């Protein structure tokens, strides 16, 4: 059964979390084949020229979730674009957007997902393109760039 988050009055972050969970375990296809659902995410948010699941898709997935749940979107494929979307928050709740740096804090590269929880060392994030799939994965707190709260549009 597919949850229609548009018909339920939910806090935006919870709507996005529930929608993301519908795709838990979705994986890239190794080799020359591609997962058609991942390609559909790109197409649905306007990136029709992307034809493979090897293209970094973490921001694509979060933009797709935001679109499906009628929330604010960054509209871009770079993870750091989410630093300018929504409202900056210090204390995230389940489903808020979390942004990390990759390679170095000065690099343009990053990762974006949905906040699940945290402990002393890690922030647990639900997202796409985490080990080439939709899953929950820990990221070091030392790589945190910020948390964002999204609103309905």
Give the mean model confidence (pLDDT) for residues 58-66.
98
Q: Answer whether 28's CB lies under 8 Å from 38's CB.
A: yes
Could you give the 3-state DSSP secondary structure of residue 4? coil
Query: Which pLDDT score, from 0 to 100, does residue 4 have?
Result: 56
DSSP 16-84: HHHHHHTTTT-BPPSTT---HHHHHHHHHTT-TT---TTS--HHHHHHHHHHHTTB----SSSGGGGGG
Instruction: Round to whole Å and give the CA distance between 101 and 36.
Output: 28
Query: Which pLDDT score, from 0 to 100, does residue 10 have?
Result: 83
Could you give the 3-state DSSP secondary structure of residue 135? strand
- In order of their start, the domains of the chain are 10-149 (3.90.1720.10)
pTM flag (> 0.85)? yes
Q: Answer whether 71's CB lies under 8 Å from 151's CB.
A: yes
Question: What are the pLDDT digits (tens) for 69-125?
Answer: 999 999 999 999 999 999 999 999 999 999 999 999 999 999 999 999 999 999 999
**Cβ neighbours around 72 below 10 Å, total:** 18
- Closest by CA to 95, choosing from 25, 4, 38, 10, is 10
């Amino acid at each position: 059964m597919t949850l229609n988050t548009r018909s339920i009055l939910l806090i935006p972050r919870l709507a996005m979390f529930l929608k993301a969970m519908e795709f838990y375990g979705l994986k890239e296809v190794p080799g020359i084949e591609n997962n058609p659902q991942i390609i559909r995410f790109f197409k649905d948010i306007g990136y029709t020229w992307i034809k493979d699941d090897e293209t970094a898709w973490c921001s694509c997935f979060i933009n797709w979730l935001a679109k499906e749940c009628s929330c604010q979107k960054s509209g871009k494929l770079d993870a750091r674009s989410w630093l300018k979307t929504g409202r900056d928050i210090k204390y995230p709740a389940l489903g808020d957007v979390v942004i990390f740096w990759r390679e170095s804090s000065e690099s343009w590269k990053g990762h974006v997902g949905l906040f699940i929880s945290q402990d002393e060392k890690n922030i647990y994030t639900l997202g796409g393109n985490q080990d080439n799939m939709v899953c929950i994965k820990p990221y070091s707190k030392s790589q945190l760039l910020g948390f964002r709260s999204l609103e309905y549009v």
